[in-house]
Structure 1
Amino acid sequence: MADVTQTHNTTPEELIEKFLKGVDERFEDLKKNFTPREPDELLTTKELEKELKISAVTRWNWEKKKILTPRKIGARTYYLRSEIKELLLNSNK
């Protein structure tokens, strides 16, 4: 026999309201603890140079010294914005 739950002195509307209130509370908890991940933005070499105010020679030197990690897709080169942010945040430590 299946589990049966009986409610006494509760109308179907009250039961639905209690159920929805519980669901709303769970969603509110989820919203407080949930931080959506933003897709990682790719920067081109020109965008990187412009944003960091550096020359192509400086960018190339930083790649050679492993300060920057380029991503190659075919003949194009990209840099992850998150890695650049992390590099800038940790540069003074």
Structure 2
Amino acid sequence: MPPAGRPRPDEAVSAGLVSWLETALDREAAASPDPGAPAIHRLNRAEYRNAVRDLLGLDLDHARDLPADDSGYGFDNIGDVLTVSPLHVEQYVA
């Protein structure tokens, strides 16, 4: 989307940009082929409550029954820090 009053780039310019971007991304991916172990990200209590409210239309505070969230680096929504305990699983399906 060009700025107001500016012409839209033609197909050749757009194709050149796409080609350059693909090349740059492929080069960066090849330079760092191992991104590390992925963390399974569970929702913290606030995120879980909001998701239930948004998806199901239920404004229940079932999240208060979940175990307290661990925090790391001052945040409670870092995937490496949030674990899924058997108690979490039990409360999620209750």
Fold-level match, TM-score > 0.5?
no
* TM-score, with length taken from structure 2: 0.29
Between the two structures, name the one with larger relative contact order (CA 8 Å, sep ≥ 6).
1
The structure with more helix, counted as a fraction of residues = 1
The structure richer in strand per residue is 1
TM-score, normalization: structure 1? Answer: 0.29
